[in-house]
């Protein structure tokens, strides 16, 4: 166990094999982060004393300049002894549910589209997380990636994921070709989760960004006090990438309170809007942008286009638009 001190702030203990970020969050501290996967750079900290090993030295979240200045990514850093860090804690990052590592067993799988499959796992004890959060999944060989939960918190310990197969992807090829009967789950993580609100909700999923949007829609459906309607925009390259309206209505449990809007970018299909999902959203929305709160999940270029549309162009305040970037 290593002791980590934050200059002008709190301290916490970091267990063998744990990263600075996760140990800090497990201790209930608001360490800034987003992806937990080395991609975004939000978790950069300055290492004042001590040493760390990086799980991924080439992680794109850190520039050469950062490295020269002694900065490290807290999400990739395994301390090799006691450390002192300089960082600014953010109250918004204090975890409502502290993340935990647990073994989970595979209980089922089902194909959703030609390359998205739902993987169902169960662990001992209740599954506690907010709709829209994610967990880190590790295979027995130590390969680990972030995946959003598609179900909602439950007493049975069930955690469901909707995962897109990436050609030659280190994690997904193994999951799809020979899913292990047991994995390690670490979570929950993520700040782009469902919030209470008075406005109807727009969920925008691109590609593999389906799971957290399904979870958010399910979270609304499961709360008897929540009467919000959901507009579910789902973008794919072709119609084979989209599971369809009936699937979304049934799975989320929202019935007629869910309106499904499909967008295909590479194909012309009668009855389906053609274009990128942010273009289809803009065409449908007209001048009604202010009527909704927004949740968006998918690859970084899609999120960038949505951020430009919703925040930069339409001027929606950051608190009404939540982005989940899948690095
Ligand atoms: C918050 C979050 C939620 C996500 N939710 C989902 C989801 O619900 N469904 C889904 O299909 N995908 C999701 N992803 C994407 C997912 O984590 C993987 O990137 C994707 O499945 C491809 O993994 P792969 O190993 O098969 O592909 P690869 O191409 O082998 O790896 C892809 C990613 O892994 C990371 N990586 C590469 N090398 C290393 C390394 N040496 N050490 C550590 N990391 C490395 C990089 O971020 C890279 O982009 C999410 C990503 C994030 C950040
Ligand atoms: S949280 Fe560490 S790089 Fe994104």
CATH number at residue 253: 3.40.50.80
Please give the distance, rounded to the nearest whole angstrom, from the Cα atom of residue 37 to the centre of ligand 1. 7
- Answer yes or no: is 195 within a domain: no
Are 217 and 248 in contact, with CB atoms under 8 Å apart?
Answer: yes
Residue-range definition of the domain harbouring residue 171: 100-189
The pLDDT value recorded for residue 270 is: 84
The pLDDT value recorded for residue 232 is: 95
Beta-bridge partners for 47:
85
Please give the distance, rounded to the nearest whole angstrom, from the Cα atom of residue 134 to the centre of ligand 2. 14
204 and 320 inside one domain: yes
Tell me the per-residue pLDDT of 297-325, one tens digit each, with 9 for 90 and over: 999 999 999 999 999 999 999 889 999 99
66 three-class SS: helix
Q: Which residues' Cβ are closer than 6 Å to ligand 2?
A: 33-36, 38-43, 61, 73, 75
User: Which ligand 2 atom is at minimum distance from the Cα of 40?
Assistant: 4
270 and 218 inside one domain: yes
Residue with CA at minimum distance from ligand 1 atom 31: 169
Q: Give the end of a domain, one of 155, 189, 223.
A: 189
Question: Mean pLDDT over residues 168-185, rounded?
Answer: 96
Please give the distance, rounded to the nearest whole angstrom, from the Cα atom of residue 146 to the centre of ligand 1. 6
131 and 184 inside one domain: yes
Average of per-residue pLDDT values in the chain:
95
Better-scored residue on pLDDT, 235 or 9: 235
Say if residue 242's pLDDT is above 90: no
Question: Mean pLDDT over residues 143-149, rounded?
Answer: 97
Calculate ∠ Cα 84-85-91, nearest 5°. Answer: 130
pLDDT above 70 as % of the chain: 100
Residue with tokens 């744990």: 18
Q: Give the end of a domain, one of 189, 209, 240.
A: 189
Better-scored residue on pLDDT, 244 or 326: 326
Residue with tokens 């002192």: 84
How do the residues of the chain divide into helix, strand and coil, expressed in percent and rounded to 5?
Answer: 25, 35, 40
Say if residue 267's pLDDT is above 90: no
The Cβ of residue 7 has, within 10 Å, a number of other Cβ atoms equal to 11
* Ligand nearest to the CA of residue 38, numbered in listed order: 2
Can you give the pTM of this predicted structure?
Answer: 0.96
25 and 8 inside one domain: yes
CATH number at residue 123: 2.40.30.10
110 and 135 inside one domain: yes
Residue with tokens 């919000």: 228
Counting ligand 2 atoms within 8 A of each CB, the residue from 23, 24, 41, 66 with the most, and so the one to mutate, is 41
Considering its fold, how many domains does the chain have in total? 3
118 and 185 inside one domain: yes
Crossing angle of helices 277-285/300-307, nearest 10°?
30
249 and 227 inside one domain: yes
> How far, in Å, are 120, 152, 214, 217, 271 from residue 249 at the CA level?
20, 16, 10, 9, 18
Least confident of 160-169, 221-230, 269-278: 269-278
Please give the distance, rounded to the nearest whole angstrom, from the Cα atom of residue 40 to the centre of ligand 2. 5
Q: Is 268 exposed, middle or buried (0-12, 13-18, 19+ CB in 10 A)?
A: exposed
Question: Mean pLDDT over residues 192-209, rounded?
Answer: 95
Of the pLDDT bands very low, low, confident and very high (cuts 50, 70, 90), residue 252 is confident
CATH number at residue 54: 3.10.20.30
Residue with CA at minimum distance from ligand 1 atom 21: 172
223 and 260 inside one domain: yes
137 and 219 inside one domain: no
Q: Tokens in use for 177?
A: 């070709």
Better-scored residue on pLDDT, 205 or 246: 205
Residue with CA at minimum distance from ligand 1 atom 10: 163
162 and 272 inside one domain: no
Question: Mean pLDDT over residues 30-50, rounded?
Answer: 96
Please give the distance, rounded to the nearest whole angstrom, from the Cα atom of residue 136 to the centre of ligand 1. 10
Please give the distance, rounded to the nearest whole angstrom, from the Cα atom of residue 76 to the centre of ligand 2. 8
Q: Give the end of a domain, one of 60, 93, 126.
A: 93
Rounded CA gap, 13 and 15, in Å?
A: 7
271 and 165 inside one domain: no
H helices, E strands: number in the chain: 7, 19
Say if residue 251's pLDDT is above 90: no
The pLDDT value recorded for residue 243 is: 85
User: Which ligand 1 atom is at minimum distance from the Cα of 146?
Assistant: 17
Q: Which residues' Cβ are closer than 6 Å to ligand 1?
A: 35, 37-39, 55-56, 134, 145-148, 161-164, 166, 169-172, 190, 208, 211, 326-327
Question: Mean pLDDT over residues 21-34, rounded?
Answer: 97
- Answer yes or no: is 139 within a domain: yes
Are 115 and 177 in contact, with CB atoms under 8 Å apart?
Answer: no
Of the pLDDT bands very low, low, confident and very high (cuts 50, 70, 90), residue 32 is very high
185 and 219 inside one domain: no
* Ligand nearest to the CA of residue 71, numbered in listed order: 2
Say if residue 9's pLDDT is above 90: no
Please give the distance, rounded to the nearest whole angstrom, from the Cα atom of residue 155 to the centre of ligand 1. 28
User: Which ligand 2 atom is at minimum distance from the Cα of 38?
Assistant: 3
For residue 91, give the nearest of 43, 36, 29 by alpha carbon.
29
* Ligand nearest to the CA of residue 160, numbered in listed order: 1
The Cβ of residue 154 has, within 10 Å, a number of other Cβ atoms equal to 15
Least confident of 52-56, 100-104, 173-177, 251-255: 251-255
């Amino acid at each position: 166990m290593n002791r980590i001190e934050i200059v002008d702030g709190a301290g916490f203990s970091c267990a063998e094999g744990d990263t600075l970020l996760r140990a800090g969050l497990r201790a209930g501290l608001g360490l800034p982060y987003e992806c937990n996967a080395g991609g975004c750079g939000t978790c950069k900290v300055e290492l004042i004393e001590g040493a760390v090993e990086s799980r991924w030295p080439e992680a794109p979240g850190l520039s050469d300049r950062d490295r020269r200045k002694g900065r490290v990514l807290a999400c990739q850093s395994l301390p090799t002894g006691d450390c002192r860090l300089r960082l600014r804690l953010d109250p918004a990052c204090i975890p409502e549910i502290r993340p935990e590592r647990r073994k989970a067993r595979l209980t089922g799988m089902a194909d959703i589209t030609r390359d998205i499959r739902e993987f169902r796992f169960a662990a001992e004890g209740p599954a506690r997380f907010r709709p829209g959060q994610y967990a880190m999944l590790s295979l027995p060989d130590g390969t680990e990636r972030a995946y959003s939960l598609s179900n909602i918190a439950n007493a049975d310990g069930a955690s469901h994921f909707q995962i897109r197969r990436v050609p030659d992807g280190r994690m997904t090829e193994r999951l799809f070709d020979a899913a292990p009967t047991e994995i390690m789950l670490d979570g929950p993580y993520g700040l782009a989760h469902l919030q209470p609100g008075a406005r109807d909700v727009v969920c925008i999923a691109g590609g593999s960004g389906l799971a957290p949007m399904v979870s958010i829609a399910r979270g609304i459906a499961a709360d008897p006090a929540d009467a919000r309607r959901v507009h579910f925009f789902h973008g794919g390259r072709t119609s084979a990438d989209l599971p369809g309206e009936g699937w979304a209505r049934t799975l989320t449990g929202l019935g007629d309170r869910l309106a499904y809007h499909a967008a295909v970018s590479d194909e012309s299909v009668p009855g389906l809007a053609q274009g990128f999902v942010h273009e289809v959203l803009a065409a449908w929305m007209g001048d009604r942008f202010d009527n909704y709160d927004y949740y968006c999940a998918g690859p970084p270029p899609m999120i960038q286009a949505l951020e430009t549309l919703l925040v930069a162009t339409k001027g929606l305040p950051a608190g009404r638009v939540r982005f989940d970037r899948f690095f």
